Copies of this chain bind each other. A is one copy, B any other.
Amino acid sequence: MSDTHPVLELIHTRLSTERFEPGPTLSEDEIRELIEDAIQAPSSFNIQHWRFVALRNPEEKKRLRAAAYGQALVEDAAVTFIVLGDVRGHEKLAGILQSSVDAAVISRRKADRWVEMSDKIYADGQLARDEAIRSATLAAMTLMLAASARGLSSAPLIGFDPERLQKEFAIPEHCLPVMLVCVGRAAEGNPARKVRMGADRVLAFDRGRVF
Contact = CB atoms under 8 A, between A and B. Distances in A.
Contact of A140 (B99, B138, B198): B138
Nearest to A12: B40
Given A36-B199, A52-B202, A134-B133, A5 B5 contact: no
A44 B199 CA distance: 18
B99 A195 contact: yes
A36 B48 CA distance: 28
26 contacts: A1-B150, A2-B149, A2-B151, A7-B7, A11-B142, A12-B40, A28-B205, A31-B203, A32-B199, A35-B199, A39-B199, A40-B196, A48-B196, A52-B202, A53-B210, A54-B205, A56-B206, A86-B211, A103-B195, A105-B191, A105-B193, A137-B137, A138-B140, A145-B145, A170-B209, A172-B211
